[in-house]
Structure 1
């Protein structure tokens, strides 16, 4: 597993968050870039129940990054950090309970499976990250979570709005989840194409 230093000064890169790719696009700022403070919304759980949830996520959960086209970012693309748990369809009650406890996210039903996923920025920063900071994972997914946090906060600060920022974020993503599956596109492939059909990377 590659090591990644967290002691990096991104202030210079963040200051160039809007590149001149499409002059007609305005530079959209999320509410946190405009100065709104994060407000943690941790569920009120006993340590026992929190431990059960953490253990379950260690086995079945994952953190990921999704990329898609955007009309509000000057780069033309939008990065979305996400958290999900995928189970067989007959286990849907578990994920419905999970959604109720966390009070965020949605449960998506597929033909043979069901997925609980969280992609809203508010929910990632105010629920998911604070929860796993307070109740840390104890296996390899703890390292994935730390990379996920770096990616999420870089996106929060606007770094995912430039092609250079996207390259850096995707480089971090490449060491998550054991390098990803066979369908994951490399940074070189994505940047070369400059054409992102919305998909999970």
Structure 2
């Protein structure tokens, strides 16, 4: 069974509860300040929804799926994808609710 994403607003609404905007700060010997900053966008779903996750990758045109016990994580960490696809997407189709504050912080770091 294929999942068809009905429209961009559905993705924004879906993302308001099942996603995570992450900012990772790691030690880095190759960076002058000794740290690197990486952005990650993750959506997690139960393993039974793997086809939905594949549809989201297709819809967003980016990301990879990683299995974690009984769930799958759609993870987008490539800076160009976050900068050119994810951030513009959520600016055009804003998240409603508290998760929008997480996105605003994520956007500021970008």
- TM-score above 0.5, yes or no: yes
Paired with 1:118 and 1:112, the residues of 2 have a C-alpha distance of: 20
Match of 1:139 among 84, 88, 97: 97
Paired with 2:107 and 2:11, the residues of 1 have a C-alpha distance of: 19
Where does structure 1 lack aligned partners over 5 or more consecutive residues?
Answer: 1-45, 153-201
Q: Secondary structure at the match of 1:136?
A: coil
Paired with 2:43 and 2:82, the residues of 1 have a C-alpha distance of: 14
RMSD (CA atoms): 1.5
Superposed, which structure 2 residues align to 1:1-201 within 5 Å?
49-152=7-110
Q: Counting strand residues as a fraction of each chain, which structure ranks higher?
A: 2
Instruction: Compute the displacement of 1:66 (Å).
Output: 1.3
Paired with 1:50 and 1:105, the residues of 2 have a C-alpha distance of: 17
Instruction: Compute the displacement of 1:61 (Å).
Output: 1.2
TM-score if structure 2 supplies the norm length? 0.89
Paired with 1:55 and 1:129, the residues of 2 have a C-alpha distance of: 15
How many residue pairs are counted as aligned between the two chains? 106
Q: Secondary structure at the match of 1:91?
A: helix
Paired with 1:102 and 1:71, the residues of 2 have a C-alpha distance of: 33
TM-score if structure 1 supplies the norm length? 0.50
Query: Which structure has the bigger radius of gyration?
Result: 1
